[in-house]
Amino acid sequence: MAILELQNICKDYMQGKEPVRVLKNVSLSVEKGEYIAIMGPSGSGKTTLMNIIGCLDVPTSGSYVLDGADLQDLSDDALADIRNRHIGFVFQSFHLLPKMTALDNVALPLLYGGVPLKERKRRAAEALEAVGLSDRAEFYPNQLSGGQCQRVAIARAMVGKPDILLADEPTGALDTRAGSQIMEIFRGLNDSGMTILMITHEPSIAACADKTYHILDGELHTAGVPGRGGSEDEAE
């Protein structure tokens, strides 16, 4: 069953007085439990597409059905509700709050969800354990390495138990070793049933997904290229 179904999605931005089309008739169907990578040059529309999939932005035209619900014409509140229930985000630059410990950063989404304090702490500790950071719970972001910060960010994305993980260049700021640790965590999450969409510039990272799509000048090339265990010819 498709968990995400995008049909003929277009997105225009005003640049000066002219609308410029940055996504052009993008159609994409993602099955529950799929792990896909999206590659493409800088400015090709990857983040724009991710923001639409993550209900952070709305398309100019086209249809988007998420887990059977047509998102067209929903209010901002309704979109936020769908986002909170279904989607976890991981960004290149982690987006952790500097004045909060790792544990409190991870617990934060549960606060917005109205979960009581004790339960928030328990679930945050569990999520930190899942990314191997139980011993860093009381550390602040500036006391953590980049790879550790990203693992905290993944724990924060997972703590609400979303069924879809969206990651925009999750290894872009990390060295190879930290990057492969993140890829191991993603593999484990996917093995436990999570649907993952990951943007990356790096062919070796895209190869960790089961399927790779390419976006070029706002057009998605939907002929999925086998990733894991496949050929290495996925350079841009």
Ligand X SMILES: Nc1ncnc2c1ncn2[C@@H]1O[C@H](COP(=O)(O)OP(=O)(O)OP(=O)(O)O)[C@@H](O)[C@H]1O
In the list ligand X, Mg ion, none, the entry touching 45 (Cβ below 5 to 8 angstroms by class) is ligand X
Of 13-21, 47-55, 154-162, 188-196, the segment contacting Mg ion by CB under 5 A is 47-55
Q: How far is the CB of 40 from ligand X (least distance, A)?
A: 6
Rounded distance between C-alpha atoms, residue 177 and residue 123, angstroms: 28
Q: For residue 75, count other CB atoms closer than 10 A to its CB.
A: 8
Rounded distance between C-alpha atoms, residue 106 and residue 122, angstroms: 11
- Residue 47 as a binder of Mg ion (CB under 5 A): the answer is yes
- Residue 195 as a binder of Mg ion (CB under 5 A): the answer is no
Instruction: Phi first, then psi: give them for residue 214, nearest 5 degrees.
Output: -120, 140
Rounded distance between C-alpha atoms, residue 32 and residue 235, angstroms: 27
Structure tokens at 226: 């086998």
Q: How far is the CB of 42 from ligand X (least distance, A)?
A: 3
- Residue 48 as a binder of Mg ion (CB under 5 A): the answer is no
Residues contributing to the site for ligand X (CB under 6 A): 13, 15, 22, 40, 42-48
Q: How far is the CB of 218 from ligand X (least distance, A)?
A: 7
Residue with tokens 């709050």: 97
Rounded distance between C-alpha atoms, residue 9 and residue 64, angstroms: 8
User: What SS3 state is found at 155?
Assistant: helix
Fill in the amino acid letter for 166.
L
Q: Which is nearer to ligand X, 34 or 169 (CB)?
A: 169
Site string for Mg ion, 63-92 (x = CB under 5 A): ------------------------------
Q: Which is nearer to ligand X, 44 or 190 (CB)?
A: 44
Q: Contact residues for Mg ion (CB under 5 A)?
A: 46-47
